[in-house]
Structure 1
Amino acid sequence: MDVTSWPTLPALPDPATDAVVAGGLAAELAHAFGGPFHFLLPDAFTANLTAMQAALTEADVDGFVYFAKKANKAAVFVERASAGGAGVDVASAAELREALGHGVRGEHLMVTGPAKDRLLLHLAGTHGATIAVDALDELDQMIAVARAGRFRPARVLLRVLPDSRSHSRFGLDDTELATALERCLDAGDAIRMDGFSFHLSGYALQPRADLAARLVDLCLTARLQGLEAGRISIGGGLPVNYTDADSWHAFLAAQNPAHYHARKTFRTGDFYPYHSPVAGSEALTALLATHPKGADRSLAELIKNAGIKLLLEPGRALLDRAGATVFRIQGVKERDGYRIVTVDGTSLSLSEQWFNSEYLPDPQLIPHAPVTAPGVYPASVGAATCLESDMLTWRKAAFPYPPKPGDLLLYPNTAGYQMDSNESPFHDLPLPPKVVVDRTEEPRPRWRLDRHFS
């Protein structure tokens, strides 16, 4: 079969991942753990963070980056955030404690999520964290907690409901915002209303710039009422590049149900955009240069002129190329001209399935024995469970060699959301451990287990 006739989606080159494979470390770890594992590349996280901070500096914007911890539970990324002068975005008391325990200062914590319980609000207020308030009853509870506690004021942002997401269960609409501002004023020294926040689905820059400009205007209005209102948070939503433009567009044009096990169908719009014209820190630069609708100046200029501090909460974008996932092949069967590979783990360790989608970057086959001449060997990848739906890769990926039991499959660039979100010890299978790989530039990479508390 001609390789050009089969859709592929190669991941962008990553020398650090290649070093783990080339040095034999991946095979060694697979043997040591006796099951699937994730390996983490924290130097990539640090490089991504540094690039985002540089983008803020180059745009002359006073800004601060919070790592969205929900994107990956590993402690090493919290440690790198703290060491790099960043904060952490948390949404539970456990995440807050984890961040504090790994060196993040309380005032560098952003607490998000809906309907926060009293314990979380108390911990956040005690440590001087910023709380993104999602509802009026939550604001009332925060005021009560602040008055009852030994800390004052509690620092809050009011989360705005975007007009384009009027059906969302998150955020305050215009009427609720007006009420919230009145309650912040009435709260006196119990509350410091620092500004506003939003979270916006999708990766388009213009809607994000438009909504950020609206938050700037809200800050100016709130100041006239006597509130602090000096910060806005625009959440995350900076895209990540997993593949090049030509490969992405060619894949979308070629793929069809025949290329998937059981002729599984996915809506193209449900796929993550595995290529973006601008991504990561470049997307942040482009966002700051965007002119919001009706404005004659860039978003960066609007923020600067208003004396606003810009807060970001990226997750996936900080984790680009910061890790990969490895499974061992347990069995292979032939079926209608392709192979069905079964590995020693489950699709719950590739959480794109959670969104009724597929993690599309091509898995890399790592043979455990000498291989024959290369060709094209389509194979889907199933899990070691009794569920028909438990497929890591419904697509018949085009491997260069026939997959065999004992070979390894490496899924590239999985640190952002794929390792955590949907994991479960189904069938009493252990969760894949996280291995931190340090100093990959040395002849032999060094590794250790991650220090996540739980």
Structure 2
Amino acid sequence: MAVSSAAWPTLPVLPDPATARVLESGLLPELAYAFGGPFHFLLPDAFDANLAAFHQALEAAGVDGFVYFAKKANKAAAFVERAAAAGAGVDVASLAELRESLGHGVRAEHLVVTGPAKDPAVLRLAVQHGALVAVDSLGELDALITAALTGRTRPARILLRVLPPQQPHSRFGLSEDELATAVERCVHAGDAVRVEGFSFHLSGYALQPRADLAAHLADLCLKARVQGLQADRISIGGGLPVTYTDAGSWSTFLAHQHSGPYHAGKTFPADAFYPYHSPNSGAGSLSALLATRPDGRDQDLAAILRDAGITLLLEPGRALLDKAGATVFTIRGVKDRDGYQLITVDGTSLSLSEQWFNSEYLPDPHLLSQDPAAEDGLHPASVGAATCLESDMLTWRKIGFPRRPRAGDLLVYPNTAGYQMDSNESPFHDLPLPPKVVIDRTGHPRPRWRLDRHFT
């Protein structure tokens, strides 16, 4: 039964013509039938456009920079291949990620190895191939120096990761005393290491703390050069937000959300949600960061980097994957509840990884109905998964669909390429992991597809 749409909480996704063309093509029902379960489709052209926008932002600010794709944001080979084709880098944090990136064409010198307490095999391979390593501890530094001295082929290329003063309880980075010790050891190691600069891992999306810390790293570079180290680049990591919805919808949602529009009276604190709207996002966030004046400085960050002759390294993940894919489920059943429906789909919430953070992926999914009847009102429904767990909900929120969902209809969750698709996936109940389908429309009136070439 339809209900009134007055004040019903919604979160419409921003328009995306490429995704809309796929939804309208008739391809998705065919793929759902072929796979017999949930799947993801990828739009790598969006990745290309996002990467180009980052390059343009650096050029506009007059800053020398290099972009690494944070591979942890999506396992698909398609995005690594696009990064390699564009001459960009890849940020890896495991032996498998390193090997996969090399196997899909990324030049070794365009790899940066991050993460804490790295596997010794990763460190040895990084030194052998000339990849850059973000050093997170003194023990890791010693292992790298040993690997370089043992191999005697090339120096270990390193960034020294700094513990953020703004986040002193972070488990990432070297404290001030550890950093001084690390610099001293690097000086004594001579040609065994090449200290290319410094890096940090900073939680959150605020620009001012990131600009302040980046300026501090620029100062560290200048001091390290006096000691004979190269120190001509800094990495600011990722943390550049993506905007999924418009400002008005996001503001209205936060103002009106409460337990009523959620299945079983579920509640989420507002600060648990990802910021689904940001005034600056993606490459625009980078531009705003470079235009930010660090605290106590007379220049903006871009000018500080230019004057110091520093190359800016960044490792975006989600921001390179904006509008680069979506996730498709088939509705298996619909139950009527008191004033709303409870949908069960053929997959699990592990394919929408926001649940991992005790949160929810909020952008409204698209309903692709088998019945082309006209929209006839508002039909609230929550979305549950195909498991025996009460907590396994894709969407606790009662989504206001324009027609009644029915078994056999498709639900398409938009813009899920960044972290949602596979960072928390699991073959629970022996359900297969959803395959990834790469969509290509170039030169063809109807989209063509292939399975992604991720090594398994």
Partner of 1:350: 352
Decide whether the 8 Å contact of 1:38 with 1:435 is kept in 2.
Answer: yes
SS at match of 1:258: coil
Q: CA deviation at 1:164?
A: 1.5
**Which aligned pairs between 1:121-160 and structure 2 lie closer than 5 A?**
121-160=123-162
CA offset digits 1:79-134 (Å, max 9, x no partner): 10111121000001100010001110000000000011110001111111000000
Counterparts of 1:420 and 1:21 in 2: how far apart (Å)? 22
Decide whether the 8 Å contact of 1:126 with 1:150 is kept in 2.
Answer: no
SS at match of 1:257: coil
The amino acid across from 1:184 in the alignment is: C
**Are the structure 2 counterparts of residues 184 and 366 from structure 1 closer, same or farther at C-alpha, using a change threshold of 3 Å?**
same
Partner of 2:315: 313
SS at match of 1:413: coil
Partner of 2:91: 89
Counterparts of 1:370 and 1:12 in 2: how far apart (Å)? 24
Q: CA deviation at 1:299?
A: 0.4
Decide whether the 8 Å contact of 1:16 with 1:440 is kept in 2.
Answer: no
| 1:103 maps onto 2:95 in alignment | no
User: Which residue, out of 10, 21, 33, partners 1:8?
Assistant: 10
Q: CA deviation at 1:2?
A: 2.3
**Are the structure 2 counterparts of residues 299 and 348 from structure 1 closer, same or farther at C-alpha, using a change threshold of 3 Å?**
same
Partner of 2:436: 434
Q: CA deviation at 1:373?
A: 4.0
User: Which residue, out of 413, 420, 423, partners 1:411?
Assistant: 413
Decide whether the 8 Å contact of 1:161 with 1:198 is kept in 2.
Answer: yes
| 1:286 maps onto 2:288 in alignment | yes
Decide whether the 8 Å contact of 1:21 with 1:27 is kept in 2.
Answer: no
State the identity as a percent.
Answer: 72
Partner of 1:399: 401
Partner of 2:324: 322
Q: CA deviation at 1:421?
A: 1.0
| 1:20 maps onto 2:44 in alignment | no
Counterparts of 2:107 and 2:208 in 1: how far apart (Å)? 33
| 1:339 maps onto 2:337 in alignment | no
Q: CA deviation at 1:29?
A: 0.7
SS at match of 1:164: coil
Q: CA deviation at 1:190?
A: 0.8
Decide whether the 8 Å contact of 1:327 with 1:343 is kept in 2.
Answer: yes
SS at match of 2:260: helix
The amino acid across from 1:29 in the alignment is: L
Q: CA deviation at 1:143?
A: 0.6
Counterparts of 2:393 and 2:444 in 1: how far apart (Å)? 36
The amino acid across from 2:163 in the alignment is: L
Q: CA deviation at 1:365?
A: 0.5
Partner of 1:244: 246
SS at match of 1:4: coil
Provide the aligned length of Structure 1 versus Structure 2.
454
Partner of 1:178: 180
Partner of 2:214: 212
Q: CA deviation at 1:440?
A: 6.2
The amino acid across from 2:62 in the alignment is: D
CA offset digits 1:390-414 (Å, max 9, x no partner): 0000000110011000000000000
Counterparts of 2:163 and 2:321 in 1: how far apart (Å)? 27
**Are the structure 2 counterparts of residues 441 and 200 from structure 1 closer, same or farther at C-alpha, using a change threshold of 3 Å?**
farther
| 1:193 maps onto 2:192 in alignment | no
SS at match of 1:187: helix
Structure 2: unaligned runs, 5 residues or longer:
none
Q: CA deviation at 1:371?
A: 2.8
Partner of 1:387: 389
Q: CA deviation at 1:297?
A: 0.6
**Are the structure 2 counterparts of residues 373 and 228 from structure 1 closer, same or farther at C-alpha, using a change threshold of 3 Å?**
closer
Instruction: Give the RMSD, CA atoms, in angstroms.
Output: 0.9
Counterparts of 2:331 and 2:271 in 1: how far apart (Å)? 31
Partner of 1:452: 454
Counterparts of 1:332 and 1:84 in 2: how far apart (Å)? 46
Counterparts of 1:40 and 1:373 in 2: how far apart (Å)? 29
Counterparts of 1:17 and 1:161 in 2: how far apart (Å)? 40
Counterparts of 1:400 and 1:188 in 2: how far apart (Å)? 67
Q: CA deviation at 1:372?
A: 5.1
Counterparts of 2:443 and 2:63 in 1: how far apart (Å)? 34
Q: CA deviation at 1:21?
A: 1.2
SS at match of 2:243: coil
CA offset digits 1:55-77 (Å, max 9, x no partner): 10111111000000000000000
The amino acid across from 1:10 in the alignment is: P
User: Which residue, out of 354, 369, 372, partners 2:371?
Assistant: 369
Partner of 1:230: 232
Q: Using structure 1 for the length normalisation, give the TM-score.
A: 0.99
Partner of 1:69: 71
Structure 1: unaligned runs, 5 residues or longer:
none
Counterparts of 1:334 and 1:106 in 2: how far apart (Å)? 56
Partner of 1:78: 80
Q: Using structure 2 for the length normalisation, give the TM-score.
A: 0.98
SS at match of 1:3: coil
Counterparts of 1:92 and 1:112 in 2: how far apart (Å)? 8
SS at match of 1:259: coil
CA offset digits 1:151-181 (Å, max 9, x no partner): 2211000000001211111100100000000
The amino acid across from 2:42 in the alignment is: L
The amino acid across from 2:363 in the alignment is: P
Partner of 1:421: 423
Q: CA deviation at 1:374?
A: 2.1
Decide whether the 8 Å contact of 1:89 with 1:109 is kept in 2.
Answer: yes
Counterparts of 2:49 and 2:6 in 1: how far apart (Å)? 35
Q: Which moved more, 1:431-440 or 1:214-223?
A: 431-440
Counterparts of 1:224 and 1:299 in 2: how far apart (Å)? 22
Counterparts of 1:250 and 1:20 in 2: how far apart (Å)? 29
Decide whether the 8 Å contact of 1:19 with 1:440 is kept in 2.
Answer: no
Counterparts of 1:295 and 1:204 in 2: how far apart (Å)? 18
